[in-house]
Every structure is written in structure tokens, then in C-alpha cells.
Structure 1
């Protein structure tokens, strides 16, 4: 298994916070013929916990209080990342194709929706242990509310563990580096920001 693909969406839109943390895509990360149970058996020991099993979800949305991992155990989907339905589309829109066995980690604040999916597309949604229940923001709020949601998203801590590789996996290092600030561990592998 190789390191994840990284996709940066640092620029906010009028309706979407996005994040300085990159979206991470892990190709062929799950065992062959994955099931929800096998997927959870692989990822939950890494302190990313099942929030549900989901199918095609065409609504643009983001979560401002938690990061999210999709682990695809059936079918395929094309995701549009980084903009909402009120934002203009461009030739630079970020589209990511996911198929059975792939996993994607979406930082808090990054908009996502399924544009098209196979009829059998299903994935497990997993969230860092200790996260509050996710909120759904549908990328239609005004500037003030979007700014508030952006501040919430920036306060979501970097998890202490990579969902696929576990402690010491690439997510933590990639995300801390992307923050462009000094960080230090405290407690048991929890990370907190240190002002330079």
C-alpha cells in the first residue's frame, strides 16, 4: 500500500470554508471484497469510529466540527470537492473518482458531494474518536455564517492516528506540515498548536 494522494483546497468560497489541510486519498486500502464489518475491523482500531453506512449523496455539504473518512466497500463514485451549489464551476473543479477498496479523508470544512455513482455504491463513514456528532452544512449560508463555520473547522484538532496506517501513519505528518506552524504533542499522542 502506498502513501495517500494529496489534494489541497485551501481557498474558501463565499459558501464553503475549505481547509489548509489536504484531502487524502488511499487507493486499494481495504482488503479484497470488503464488507462494512471488515472495513470497521481495519479502521476502528486506529481510533476512527463508524458513524454509519451511506450510499450516493448528491447534496453539496461540509462538516465544521469533525474530519471524515469514506471507506468504499462497494461500487464507485465521482466526488466534487471544494465548492457548493451556489459557487461557480470552473475548469479547475476538483473531481476525485473512488472505487471499491479506496478511502478518502476529508478535513473539516471541505465541501463534498457525489456527482455520479454506480447503483451499488456504498461506503462506511468514519470519524476520529472523541469527535462530536457531525453537522451538515449545505454550502448555502451567507458570508458571516460561513466565516463562523470556518473558525469552527480550524479548531478541529489533527487526529492522533491515520485511519489506514494507524499511529505513525502519514496523515498526522502531512496535516501538521500543511498547517505551516509549530506543533507539539501533549497528553497521550494528542496534538495541540503552539504559537510561534
Structure 2
């Protein structure tokens, strides 16, 4: 079994009428993959072809990006997020964890440690929007989600990572 297969979780979310989530692609949760390298998470994401990066936190309101997938890597501290919208799933992330959110996936910070910092990046350095589930954005958002291509690389493992297998429909 590939080493990465032991440390990855897939989470599927359905459209809840406000937050569309992605109709087919799961969230990928990589636990403790960069424990030693967490301080360099932003440059590691960039090295694997995920750019337009930043270092900051996560908004404390439900939001999603309809025109780009997003990788979030915890640089320091911990955060509890809710994914998928108001009645989604709570996840706990700590230093060294990475989560990849397919376009349309709702996310919100519920709590975080004082030292929490996270790096975010997008495949190929794509520009991203921020949507909050406004009714007048919905039709455009649903169309944009369908048009976002599968990335060329996995943000953690590069060319041969789990994203390439899982998101292309192959079983890991």
C-alpha cells in the first residue's frame, strides 16, 4: 500500500440549497503529512504547482470558491472547521495537516488556537472568488463549479499523489 493511502480521508458533501459543494469530487484530508515541514507549507504547495498562495487564517462565516479548488495547509496551531455548510461535518486540523477543497465546498472556521496560521493555494495559481451562498449568485456558481478542471498535480505529493487517482475516478 502506498504510504499516502494510510493518511488520507475522503469526505463527500451534497448541495444543501445554500452551499452547493461539489457534485462529484470529495474533500481530501491529509493528516500529519507535513509535521516537520509545516513552516514551509506555502512554498511546498507552490513547488507542487499550487500558486496564488497566501498565509493567514480561515473566515468565520460559511463561504466557498466556485471557480477554483483550494488547498489549505496548517502551518501552526489548530483549527476546527465545519465543511459542507451549516449542517456539514466538523473537522479538526493541526500543524502538518492539509485539506483540499473541491470547487463549491463550503468551509467556515469555528475555533482556532491563538497561534493558528494556514497557507492557502490554488492549482496552477488560479484566481479565486469568494461566495457566501447568495441566491442571486447560485446559477452562475453552479456553472462555474462544473467548469473547474481537475488539477495537474496533487498539492502534497506532486505528480503521483492521491488527488490524481481519487479525483480522476480511479480507486486509490
Same fold flag (TM > 0.5): yes
Q: Which runs of 5+ in 2 are unaligned?
A: none
Quick check: which has more Rg, 1 or 2? Answer: 1
Q: 1:156 to 1:33 in 2, by over 3 A?
A: closer
Q: 2:36 aligns with which of 16, 27, 32?
A: 32
Q: Which residue of 1 aligns with 2:140?
A: 148
- Alpha carbons 1:18, 1:150 under 8 Å: kept: no
Question: What root-mean-square deviation, in Å, do the aligned CA atoms of Structure 1 and Structure 2 show?
Answer: 1.7
Looking at structure 1, the residues matched to 72 and 51 of structure 2 have their Cα atoms a distance apart, in angstroms, of 11
Residues 8-157 of structure 1: matches in 2 within 5 Å? Answer: 8-9=12-13, 11-19=14-22, 20-32=24-36, 34-35=38-39, 38-84=40-86, 89=87, 93-131=88-126, 133-139=127-133, 141-142=134-135, 145-157=137-149
Q: Which residue of 2 aligns with 1:163?
A: 155
Task: Give every structure 1 segment of 4 or more consecutive aligned residues whose post-TM-superposition deviation is greater than 4 Å.
Answer: none
Which whole-Å deviations, capped at 9, do the CAs of 1:121-154 have from their partners, x for residues lacking one? 11010111141x2111012x11x63132011011
Q: 1:33 to 1:67 in 2, by over 3 A?
A: closer
Q: What secondary structure is seen at the aligned counterpart in 2 of 1:21?
A: coil
Q: How many Å apart are 1:56 and its aligned residue?
A: 4.4
Looking at structure 2, the residues matched to 80 and 15 of structure 1 have their Cα atoms a distance apart, in angstroms, of 15
Q: Which runs of 5+ in 1 are unaligned?
A: 179-196
Looking at structure 2, the residues matched to 138 and 47 of structure 1 have their Cα atoms a distance apart, in angstroms, of 27
Looking at structure 2, the residues matched to 50 and 27 of structure 1 have their Cα atoms a distance apart, in angstroms, of 23
Deviates more, 1:43-52 or 1:69-78: 43-52
Looking at structure 2, the residues matched to 54 and 107 of structure 1 have their Cα atoms a distance apart, in angstroms, of 20
- Alpha carbons 2:46, 2:53 under 8 Å: kept: no
Looking at structure 2, the residues matched to 176 and 150 of structure 1 have their Cα atoms a distance apart, in angstroms, of 20
